[in-house]
Amino acid sequence: MRACLVAAAIAAACPTAGAADRLAMPEDFTTFQRDISPLVTPQLDLPAKTFVQIEPALHHLALQHAAHLASLPAPDTARTLAALARFIDRQRAAAGPRPVFAPGRDVIGLLDPDRGLDPKEIGAIAAAYGCAATIFKRDAADETIAGVADDFLAAIRAAVTAGRPTTIVVLGHGLPTEIQSYGIRFERLAAALVGDPPDAARGASPAAVAPPPATPLDLGRIVLVCDDCFSADFLINLQDAIERRCRDRGRPLAALPVCIAGTNRGRVGFADVRGKFVPHFWKDVVELCFIRRPRPAEVVLRTIFENVDHMMYGYGRTPIFAGTKVTGWRLVDPAAVQDPVTFVPLDAAARDELRDILTLPAGTVLPGWLDIG
């Protein structure tokens, strides 16, 4: 029955034979939902809630490989997309237990200097889960934006060098290329995470920087949370820069950090500004993980990409009810949609699996990160 449903949907999407019997990946998500997702969901054994959360990730993964997918017959493309959805779901399940706030983790925070964010917005939740917190914010007359930025990056560099499990939280204003509040470009943050000295982030060539350690760089115990405008774009630039810096310096990269973006690609963030400036994503983290009782023993990735993301799905959308049951969502304000994103590192085995799903040659280079919704 499922095969018949998929075949009928493909026939409707590709009414003519020959070269037209291909599925082109739409650039916009709404068209993907309308035209492509109905070809995928009948092949899956996933709860509707789960597919809703991974659907944007599937769309972006399909866009990454759009040229290859367009070369396949439409039925093969639909089967490949279903296999990619299952791959994303497996990576979510594997990453779910990773701690974000838990005893033994350090927390490094960076707060926007000009608005009402208080250090306790991060410090209180860190203390509640047994984390030692260091919060940076320019709020003294003798402090400078540049000085606070340097101190923040130095703390990250020290945490990586020491190998401490660390969660980094950035709240404020952002651009695709920088933490705007402090003018920290993604290249500078990448240099700090790789452990390069500060001058390496300011244009020094790889040859001018001290030789890299012989051991592979493992950032898998680092979690980076950015709740600002264009945070997904910034984190993608950051992860690509880390890979590029390691490659240029000849240092093996064992794992990228886990990255959590409060806003999806091309999205601005929103905040409640009544008395305090609290970005929506972080507000929901505080609500679900600090204010509500009983608190969990620890906050893990599953808490973020299931509970917090589910709460945020209501921004810009209204539920559709059948009796008392929510059967879907209606988009009412596209500009208000944020759809947070979690990126997890992919090891060599996972990248091999992804190549197999996509039928790519063994040597095809794939990013070391995956958007899991």
Over residues 65-69, the mean pLDDT reads 96
Over residues 113-131, the mean pLDDT reads 90
Tokens of residue 116, six digits:
């009402």
Asked whether the beta carbons of 126 and 119 are under 8 A apart, the reply is: no
pLDDT of residue 194: 96
Cα separation of 116 and 278, whole Å? 8
Nearest to 165 by CA among 243, 86, 224, 116: 224
Whether the pLDDT of residue 86 is over 90: the answer is yes
Over residues 187-199, the mean pLDDT reads 90
Asked whether the beta carbons of 192 and 156 are under 8 A apart, the reply is: yes
Percent of the chain exceeding pLDDT 90 equals 68
pLDDT of residue 19: 47
Cα separation of 50 and 310, whole Å? 10
Residue 3: pLDDT band (50, 70, 90) is low
Q: Convert the pLDDT of each residue in 251-279 to its tens digit.
A: 999 999 999 999 989 878 776 655 566 78
Dihedral (Cα; 146, 150, 152, 158), 10-degree rounding = 180
User: What are the structural domain ranges in the chain?
Assistant: 2-95, 99-306
Cα separation of 56 and 355, whole Å? 20
pLDDT of residue 156: 98
Whether the pLDDT of residue 74 is over 70: the answer is yes
Long-range contacts of the stretch 73-78 (C-beta < 8 A, 24+):
73/21, 73/22, 74/10, 74/13, 74/14, 74/21, 74/22, 74/23, 75/6, 75/7, 75/10, 77/22, 77/23, 78/6, 78/9, 78/10, 78/23, 78/39, 78/40, 78/43
Whether the pLDDT of residue 191 is over 70: the answer is yes
pLDDT of residue 329: 82
Tokens of residue 254, six digits:
């064992």
Cα separation of 61 and 81, whole Å? 9
Q: Convert the pLDDT of each residue in 351-364 to its tens digit.
A: 999 999 999 999 89
